[in-house]
Amino acid sequence: MDFEIDPRVDASFARQGFMDLIGARLIHAKAGRCVMETAWSERLTQQHGYFHAGVSATLADNAAGYAAYTLMPEGASVLTVEFKLNLTNPARPGLLRADAQVIKPGRTLSVVRCTVSTLADGKETPCAEFLGTIMTLLQAPPPP
Amino acid sequence: MDFEIDPRVDASFARQGFMDLIGARLIHAKAGRCVMETAWSERLTQQHGYFHAGVSATLADNAAGYAAYTLMPEGASVLTVEFKLNLTNPARPGLLRADAQVIKPGRTLSVVRCTVSTLADGKETPCAEFLGTIMTLLQAPPPP
Amino acid sequence: MDFEIDPRVDASFARQGFMDLIGARLIHAKAGRCVMETAWSERLTQQHGYFHAGVSATLADNAAGYAAYTLMPEGASVLTVEFKLNLTNPARPGLLRADAQVIKPGRTLSVVRCTVSTLADGKETPCAEFLGTIMTLLQAPPPP
Amino acid sequence: MDFEIDPRVDASFARQGFMDLIGARLIHAKAGRCVMETAWSERLTQQHGYFHAGVSATLADNAAGYAAYTLMPEGASVLTVEFKLNLTNPARPGLLRADAQVIKPGRTLSVVRCTVSTLADGKETPCAEFLGTIMTLLQAPPPP
């Protein structure tokens, strides 16, 4: 796979304070697929030292939204309608990676699947499975 | 409502590095209900300046888990099996509050509902609706 | 509660062959709320004699869709985008009732919550909890 | 693919009155995968003549449960904890097929993905995407 990043995704990602806070990095965003990662640190943990489920949810939601965004027309904005996340394995320290793929693109709504995995000791282990709905907004929302 | 915090929830919450990172505060945790909050900052934003959906997801997941934890026997650990989150309104700057209530307690699995709201200018506006499944583990998971 | 049925819901319900097959009856549909019921029979069972989860899902989905439909403009059609269902208790023989309430109406998308319960021996027991997203279509879909 | 049916699934399926009512047929059930089908009829429709979403939900839930059941120990019973379903395309008249695959088997809980498709005029079109959680019960539930 040739990693490529849609410049619109890059610019949007850079405006998300929360991505900076959790140390997330955009790896790929093109043609209905988006990959992002963050490295384990004590600041991202739940009570037993694993990645917090909220970190997995955040990465998955963001990767899914941007996967859909790569297919949207110029000038559109992206909005998560809803998602469901199954936690499938403990998210062990290492690199946390979300890999999202649009499975049904649509003019208004797109359905996106995303798998979150941990990479440690050269081994990739899925830790969460996401299925969600992303909306195309034809205009940017007003500033808050 | 008299705010009270189950000491087990308090201790578990204090071990979560991610709660510290997002500035979350535990407000109430007792008898199947849990409330937590965090205040808006640039570090918690998505690309348009609203709270990131990942912050809402994190607060909701955590409040739901601890709501269920208040009903678990001594020595148990709490694990999120899965959840679904609908984003219902933009999460405007202000205080973000997750209020979770167990709707079906169970020996192994509990079903929890949680509403996330923003509080600004004296007004509370729901921004996300959560429905999830929490598991009682009779032993703590091994360290990662 | 005064039971009332929006005539558009009544007409749409009457065209659903599947409602006739499962013996469902529309009880109420107005102002963002919809209630429907079906009575237990051997034809609606899973392997242990309880109502099949598919029956609960069907009733919940339909009640949710029509709850949202009551708030839609003239000429609109209703479409389920997605839903999540938690099975909370075995659905014992008796009357199965789905009670749906729009919790966030929207021009394009509405979020609806629905509780499915069984009524037997004068007692109502929740058996499923639904959270879903319903879409307003401004035109009817083409015939299949 | 060699179609094979686990005899435990076959026996359980045969006890489900609802499968008979909707004309469902078990095609394959082995090693974490299950496929079932039903043919379109007026009795399975929603208001515009497509398959009712409840039929897709029923097939998906059942295929998912039995996919997990094929991996359970002797004497176990299968229970759906929860599922989420995205409707991705109109379910046109033809054959409706649910194809479920366990993506994370577990001693107590298994995570299952299922795609529902329609087959008509030699073409297969996905119409729904399912992600759910199935529980292993070590004993059969009591009769209702």
Q: Regarding predicted confidence, which is higher, A58 or A3? A: A58
Region C102-131 average pLDDT: 97
pLDDT for C51-94, tens place per residue? Answer: 999 999 999 999 999 999 999 999 999 999 999 999 999 999 99
Q: Which amino acid is at D113?
A: R
Write out the two tokens for C129: 């909890």
pLDDT for D97-125, tens place per residue? Answer: 999 999 999 999 999 999 999 999 999 99
Task: Report the pLDDT value the prediction gives residue C29, as an integer from 0 to 100.
Answer: 98
Cβ neighbours of B81 in D, within 8 Å: 81, 109, 133
Question: What percent of chain B clears pLDDT 90, i.e. is strictly above it?
Answer: 94
Whole-angstrom Cα distance, residue A85 to residue D140? 29
Task: Report the pLDDT value the prediction gives residue C13, as an integer from 0 to 100.
Answer: 98
Put simply, whether D48 touches A (Cβ < 8 Å) is: no
Residue of C nearest to B85 (CA): C131
Q: How many CA atoms lie within 13 A of B31 on its CB side?
A: 4
Question: What percent of chain B clears pLDDT 70, i.e. is strictly above it?
Answer: 99
The closest CB to that of D143, out of C46, C48, C62, belongs to C48
Quick one: pLDDT band at residue B41, thresholds 50, 70, 90?
A: very high
Residue of D nearest to B131 (CA): D82
For residue A125, the distance in angstroms to the closest alpha carbon of chain D comes to 11
How do beta strands D77-87 and C77-87 pair? antiparallel
Quick one: pLDDT band at residue C1, thresholds 50, 70, 90?
A: low
Task: Report the pLDDT value the prediction gives residue C69, as an integer from 0 to 100.
Answer: 98
Cβ neighbours of A99 in D, within 8 Å: none
Q: What does the radius of gyration of chain B's CA atoms come to, in whole angstroms?
A: 15
CB-CB contact of C81 with C112 (8 Å): no
Q: Which amino acid is at A3?
A: F
Interface touch D86/A129, C-beta < 8 Å: no
Whole-angstrom Cα distance, residue D57 to residue D54? 5
DSSP state of D45: B
Task: Report the pLDDT value the prediction gives residue C2, as an integer from 0 to 100.
Answer: 73
Cβ neighbours of B44 in A, within 8 Å: 17-18, 21
For residue B14, the distance in angstroms to the closest alpha carbon of chain C comes to 30
**Within its chain, how far is the Cα of C7 from the centroid?**
16
Put simply, whether A92 touches D (Cβ < 8 Å) is: no
The closest CB to that of A82, out of C82, C108, C135, belongs to C82
How do beta strands B95-104 and B109-120 pair? antiparallel
Task: Report the pLDDT value the prediction gives residue B140, as an integer from 0 to 100.
Answer: 87
A125: burial class by Cβ within 10 Å (0-12, 13-18, 19+)?
middle
Quick one: pLDDT band at residue D139, thresholds 50, 70, 90?
A: confident
pLDDT for A128-137, tens place per residue? Answer: 999 999 999 9
Put simply, whether A119 touches D (Cβ < 8 Å) is: no
For residue A108, the distance in angstroms to the closest alpha carbon of chain B comes to 16
Q: Which amino acid is at C67?
A: A
Q: Within chain A, what is the greatest distance between any pair of CA atoms?
A: 45
Q: What is C6-61 written as a DSSP string? A: -HHHHHHHHT-HHHHHTT-EEEEEETTEEEEEEE--GGGB-TTSSBPHHHHHHHHH
Interface touch A81/C133, C-beta < 8 Å: yes
Region C103-108 average pLDDT: 97
Whole-angstrom Cα distance, residue C140 to residue C11? 14
Region of C138 please: left (phi>0), alpha (psi -120 to 50) or beta.
alpha
Please, what is the average pLDDT of chain A?
Answer: 97
CB-CB contact of D59 with D13 (8 Å): no
B107: burial class by Cβ within 10 Å (0-12, 13-18, 19+)?
exposed
Please, what is the average pLDDT of chain C?
Answer: 97
Which positions ≥6 away from C123 have C-beta within 8 Å?
none
Among A55, A85, A112, A134, the residue to mutate for chain B (most B Cβ within 10 A): A85
pLDDT for A76-120, tens place per residue? Answer: 999 999 999 999 999 999 999 999 999 999 999 999 999 999 999
For residue A82, the distance in angstroms to the closest alpha carbon of chain C comes to 8
Cβ neighbours of C84 in B, within 8 Å: 84, 131
Quick one: pLDDT band at residue A1, thresholds 50, 70, 90?
A: low
Cβ neighbours of A133 in D, within 8 Å: 86
pLDDT for B9-18, tens place per residue? Answer: 999 999 999 9
Give, in order, the Cα–Cα distances in Å from C128 to each of B102, B103, C64, C89, C115.
14, 11, 13, 7, 6
